[in-house]
Amino acid sequence: MDKTYPVLPLRDIVVFPHMIVPLFVGREKSVRALEEVMKDDRPILLVSQKNAGEDDPTADDIYEMGTLANVLQLLRLPDGTVKVLVEGSGRARITEFVENEDFFEASIVDVEEETGADKELQALQRSVLAQFELYVKLNKKIAPEVLVSANQIDDPSKLADTVASHLALKISDKQDLLSTIKVTERLEKVFSFMEGEIGVLQVEKKIRGRVKRQMEKTQREYYLNEQLKAIQKELGETDESREETAELEARIAETKLSKEAREKCIAELKKLKSMSPMSAEAPWCAIIWIGFCLCRGASAPASRKISIGLNMCWMQTIMVWKR
């Protein structure tokens, strides 16, 4: 026998039986529907909209399958909206809408669930629970207590609905689960949806790990570079000294030298780069030697230190010649 109940259209949510959820209601028709059921402490039918963007839905914009729910608490907010706490009690299907200008009202029939074979149900329950445990571990938005509660559920239909309510699915997919009357089929669908979601979550985890490693590498390189700059500053190594070694390197490349002389110059330049600028003699020795090799081809302007090196090179040459 059909019964008539006020209807509360929902946007972006599907409420399953046995679930306790808070809802924020702002549309006038919806508020009046809640006021109506509160008068006589009656259940209200919660039904999702096909299009969440529709602010003033018609009967065609609302799904046929919904959930009868009891209003546990109602709180009026200062902005005129209502916060209501509801608990789903069972599935119900709309047979027809009753003409009512104040709020949505419809004739409904209770939906009897089909259970299936006990062994099949038991096997599906175990599979869904195992899969849900993995899903909760990957999805940090779900509290671990939810898994504890799910493990204590003996009713396979309630388990399917509980797990379904925590999955990050489209409204149409959740509505499909709500509309699936056969419990074994619903458990299979829940398991299948979880497999897809777990695959996505695993990929997201890999991406997060890769990004984290890259960020750590970048931060480590930045830290080491800053440390290197600080050490170079303490040792007296400046941009000027680096420019001078770069100039020497360029002059070695430009000057016509024998193979042996070029190799010796490159070796001395490497030695010069590794020397501490704080050393009074060692860098000059390298500069003098390189300058000696370059002095014949030194026609381009050189830095002060390199020029001094070249001049000292000539001085050493003259001193040796005088001996």
The pair of three-digit structure tokens given for residue 17, joined into one six-digit string: 């039986």
Segment 88-146, tens digit of pLDDT: 999 999 999 998 889 999 999 999 887 767 888 899 999 999 999 999 999 888 888 99
pLDDT at 276 over 70: no
The predicted structure's pLDDT at residue 99: 85
pTM of the model: 0.65
Evaluate the CA torsion angle 202, 208, 214, 219 in order and state its sign.
negative
Q: To 10 degrees, what angle do helices 239-254 and 259-274 make?
A: 170
The predicted structure's pLDDT at residue 315: 46
The predicted structure's pLDDT at residue 320: 38
Locate tokens 């026998």: which residue?
Answer: 1
List of residues 6+ apart from 158 with CB closer than 8 A: 17, 18
The predicted structure's pLDDT at residue 292: 56
Query: Can you give the three-state secondary structure of the chain, one letter per residue?
Result: CCEEEEEEEECCCCCCCCCEEEEEECCHHHHHHHHHHHHHCCCEEEEEECCCCCCCCCHHHECCEEEEEEEEEEEECCCCCEEEEEEEEEEEEEEEEECCCCCCEEEEEECCCECCCHHHHHHHHHHHHHHHHHHHHHCCCCCHHHHHHHHCCCCHHHHHHHHHHCCCCCHHHHHHHHHCCEHHHHHHHHHHHHHHHHHHHHHHHHHHHHHHHHHHHHHHHHHHHHHHHHHHHHHCCCHHHHHHHHHHHHHHHHCCCCHHHHHHHHHHHHHHHHCCCCCCCHHHHHHHHHHHHHHHHCCCCCCHHHHHHHHHHHHHHHHHHHC
Alpha carbons 51 and 12: distance in angstroms, whole number: 9
What mean pLDDT is predicted for residues 3-18?
94
What mean pLDDT is predicted for residues 256-261?
77
Beta bridge partners of 9: 47
Alpha carbons 100 and 81: distance in angstroms, whole number: 22
Q: What is the architecture of the domain spanning 113-237?
A: Up-down Bundle (1.20)
Does the 4-110 domain belong in CATH 3.40.30.10? no
Per the CB < 8 A criterion, the answer to whether 56 and 122 are in contact is no
What mean pLDDT is predicted for residues 51-71?
92
